[in-house]
Structure 1
Amino acid sequence: MNALPAAAQRTREAFAQAGGWEQRARLLMRWGEKLEPLADAERSDTNRVHGCESLVWLVGELHDGIWTFRAASEARLLRGLLAVLLERVNGLASAELARVDMADWFESLGLSRQLSPSRSNGLNAVLKRMRELAASPD
């Protein structure tokens, strides 16, 4: 795995300390509650991630070559999964973002069992949208 941003390293450590599945699930829910809310105007069709069963919105900003993403969803579990994905990708440059292995990241957190095929497809759609934003010329 590539060198992790500090926030991702802290996330990995927090999930490693969770003893069992129930503790990781509670931690995941708490992580989702920490997501910075999106403004109503940001919950637009332009920012909607298509390919997710649940509604998901994604906003990305590039500052000095580094990406920062914010996301929202109505689905509680998905908010938690989005939160830990954001911990992995925020602070990366476009080239680093292109190399993120989402399955490996969730495996390292002990969250693979939460990635049903539909959730995995949805999170892959979120990562794909992040990469599209990072590849856009503006």
Structure 2
Amino acid sequence: MTIKEIQEEIVDEFSMFEDWMQRYEYMIELGKALPIIDEQYKTDDNIIKGCQSRVWVHAELENDNLVFTADSDAIITKGIIAILIRVFSNQKPQDIIDADTNFIDEIGLKEHLSPTRANGLVSMIKQLKLYAIAYQTQLGK
């Protein structure tokens, strides 16, 4: 699936819920299903700066696609990173770099987060795109 198709799928899923308590519960469930980062990657180098809670992200290139794993010590934050990884993992670095993140506004996520969590969300997106830029440079494309 393309990044856009995955984003549309997420927007559809969130539209099924009537209120934000249900959406938060869904995000917590997504966090529980997150492909967990290997303990060896839970290092300071892999912590996303700008997040109030601790969020670790690791990226590897597999068949020219970037594959992310992550974890967080906070359940809502873990749900947020799970959504982002669902969108960006197993995608080509250039597609990640070029992708917009309007779906976050469409599901109303940013407006329902505290200012510190909203800043953390922006930091997570920025870090995932920085990984993509680094791997794109490495690919020499």
State the TM-score bracket (shorter-chain normalisation): 0.7 to 0.9
Determine if contact 1:38/1:70 at 8 Å carries over to the other structure.
Answer: yes
Runs of 4+ displaced beyond 4 Å: none
Please tell me whether residue 89 in structure 1 is matched to residue 102 in structure 2.
no
Indicate the residue corresponding to 1:45 in structure 2.
44
- Residue correspondence of structure 1 range 3-22 to structure 2 within 5 A: 4-6=4-6, 8-22=7-21
**Unaligned runs of at least 5 residues, structure 1:** none
Gap change, CA 1:92 and 1:29, over 3 Å in 2? same
Q: Report how many aligned residue pairs link the two structures.
A: 135
Provide the C-alpha distance between the structure 2 equivalents of 1:59 and 1:5, rounded to a whole number of angstroms.
24
- Residue correspondence of structure 1 range 22-101 to structure 2 within 5 A: 22-101=21-100
TM-score by length of 1: 0.83
Provide the C-alpha distance between the structure 2 equivalents of 1:128 and 1:112, rounded to a whole number of angstroms.
15
TM-score by length of 2: 0.82
1:85-135 Cα shifts (integer Å, max 9, x gaps) = 112212322222123333x22222232333332222212222222222222
1:1-52 Cα shifts (integer Å, max 9, x gaps) = x86244x443222211112222212111111111122222110112111221
One-letter amino acid of the structure 2 residue matched with residue 133 of structure 1? Y
Indicate the residue corresponding to 2:115 in structure 1.
117
One-letter amino acid of the structure 1 residue matched with residue 4 of structure 2? L
| Cα-Cα RMSD | 2.1
Determine if contact 2:97/2:133 at 8 Å carries over to the other structure.
Answer: no
Provide the C-alpha distance between the structure 2 equivalents of 1:40 and 1:3, rounded to a whole number of angstroms.
28
Provide the C-alpha distance between the structure 1 equivalents of 2:110 and 2:123, rounded to a whole number of angstroms.
17
Provide the C-alpha distance between the structure 2 equivalents of 1:75 and 1:47, rounded to a whole number of angstroms.
16
**Unaligned runs of at least 5 residues, structure 2:** none
Determine if contact 1:61/1:69 at 8 Å carries over to the other structure.
Answer: yes
Provide the C-alpha distance between the structure 2 equivalents of 1:106 and 1:33, rounded to a whole number of angstroms.
20
